[in-house]
Amino acid sequence: MLGIALGQTKEETIAWLKEKFEKYLVSKEYTVEVIKDMKLVSIDACSFTITSVGIRTNDSGEPHYYSNTFPTDIVSIQTDNAGKKGYFYYGKDEKGMDVKKVLCVYDGVKSYRSGDWVGIQLFFGGEENIRERIEKALKHLATFCAKNKQAF
């Protein structure tokens, strides 16, 4: 048998992504709100869900509860100008607008948003090529999603 390289299993990919999300999830910085307590609460071949709490400076500091479900079939992870943080990018539609695939539940109200409007980012520090590796792992995980598989 010739040297055939096999990719990571779905379970191995999920375990690796859980570890990296726990280590590198950060909030987007806003002038009117602080996002904190981000937690990866679920991940499977098709999506991952991150919850967080937001404290807004303009409404007496009452907490707001967020849940964001991201599809794994990202186009890329886009970075900020400094290349230190990034968000999950799903491409553009036929009108040139960012695709809104992230299911956001803010205080019980559902909407769909693009990855850069959600407030969840990844910090790229401490490991070489971590952005590229997380992007590759998400794309690999998406291949296990039944709705992404087509026979022909």
- Single out the residue of 31, 65, 33 nearest to residue 49, CA to CA: 65
Strands (E), 17-73: 25-27, 33-43, 47-56, 63-71
pTM (2 decimals)? 0.84
Tokens standing for residue 53? 């709490």
CB of 72 within 8 A of CB of 47? yes
Tens-digit pLDDT string for the chain (152 aa):
455 545 789 999 999 999 999 888 877 666 667 778 889 999 999 999 999 888 877 777 788 898 999 999 999 998 877 777 888 999 999 999 989 999 999 889 999 998 877 767 788 777 888 889 999 999 999 999 987 555 55
Specify which residues 123 forms β-bridges with. Answer: 85
CA distance 49 to 103: 9
Q: What angle do CA 126, 139, 13 make, to 5 degrees?
A: 65
Spatial distance between the Cα atoms of 9 and 118, rounded to a whole number of angstroms:
29
